[in-house]
Amino acid sequence: MATGQTPLYMQLADKLRAKIGTEIQPGDTMPSERSLSETYSASRNTVRLGLQRLVSEGLISPSQGRGYIVNRQDVLVYNASKSEEKDRRISAGVDAWVQDIREQGRNPSQQITVGIEKADPLIADKLNLEPGDLLLVRRRVRYVDEQPWSTEDSYYPHELVRDTPIAEPADIPQGVIAYMATIGHAQVRYVDDVSATMPNPKQADLLSMDPGVPLLVRMRVGYTTDRPVRVTVTVMPTDRNVLRYELGTHEQ
């Protein structure tokens, strides 16, 4: 190869990249390595390197048994400042996140599990508990168009919510916030801490993340007038989510 000449695998990647969004659409399966080798008169190694180039750019992802799948490039919005509006849940009849995703033209779904755990030092501190005190934990894996999209884990002091619908692994029609208000635990303010971190192997596998993509982590603590009653940790890959806050004052 002459000095300054673009490597063959990069030339191939350029040709394939130009087809994505025109001839090949998001969700489509890329042509097989054999087919690409024949079409472009390239060695299988050149084809593999070209495909890996597109993987590193986040344009395609390997899929077991299906070759390479073209990724969707649109980013979805999570309305963090609206997620606690009980009136919004009541009027829509669905979870705020579900409503957000539907309004963006996508198909949301969730898997909910519930368990009893001992509080670690961080969650215990947020809830004014002692490490080892019992918590009820509601865990959600959220999907968009059947693809894993984010997770959300909510922690409650066990004595507050045991023997309530919150302890069941199912959605609560009026929403957890509204339900807690009916049993004497109306939440009146929230504190968010937002940070970024790299995923551990379990998170990367659960959320089908590409290498090198960080996570956005929001920890929200909900308070009644006299104590914290809930900690919710939302975890979102940064390449597919925007965390939105709407701030302002009432017009006079």
Q: Is the pLDDT reported for residue 1 higher than 60?
A: no
Q: Is the pLDDT reported for residue 74 higher than 90?
A: no
pLDDT tens string 204-250:
999 988 778 899 999 999 999 999 999 999 999 998 898 888 887 64
- The phi and psi torsions of 182 (rounded to 5 degrees) equal -70, -20
> Could you give the CA distance from residue 10 to residue 46 in angstroms, rounded to a whole number?
9
What pLDDT score does 86 carry? 62
Which structure tokens are listed for 212?
């090198």
What pLDDT score does 252 carry? 43
| Domains of the chain: residue spans and CATH | 8-70 (1.10.10.10), 76-244 (3.40.1410.10)
DSSP for residue 184: T
Q: Is the pLDDT reported for residue 7 higher than 50?
A: yes
Q: Is the pLDDT reported for residue 124 higher than 70?
A: yes
Highest mean pLDDT among 2-6, 18-22, 43-47, 173-177: 43-47
Q: What is the pTM of this model?
A: 0.73
Q: Is the pLDDT reported for residue 153 higher than 90?
A: yes
What pLDDT score does 96 carry? 81
- The phi and psi torsions of 163 (rounded to 5 degrees) equal 60, 30
> Could you give the CA distance from residue 187 to residue 219 in angstroms, rounded to a whole number?
16
Q: Is the pLDDT reported for residue 64 higher than 80?
A: no
Residue range 140-168: average pLDDT? Answer: 94
Q: Which amino acid is at 188?
A: V
> Could you give the CA distance from residue 180 to residue 184 in angstroms, rounded to a whole number?
7
Q: Is the pLDDT reported for residue 91 higher than 80?
A: no
List, in sequence order, every residue forming a beta bridge with 71; answer none if it has no partner.
none
Q: Which residues contact 3 (CB under 8 A, 6 or more apart)?
A: none
Helix axes 8-19, 44-56, angle to 10 degrees: 60
What pLDDT score does 147 carry? 86
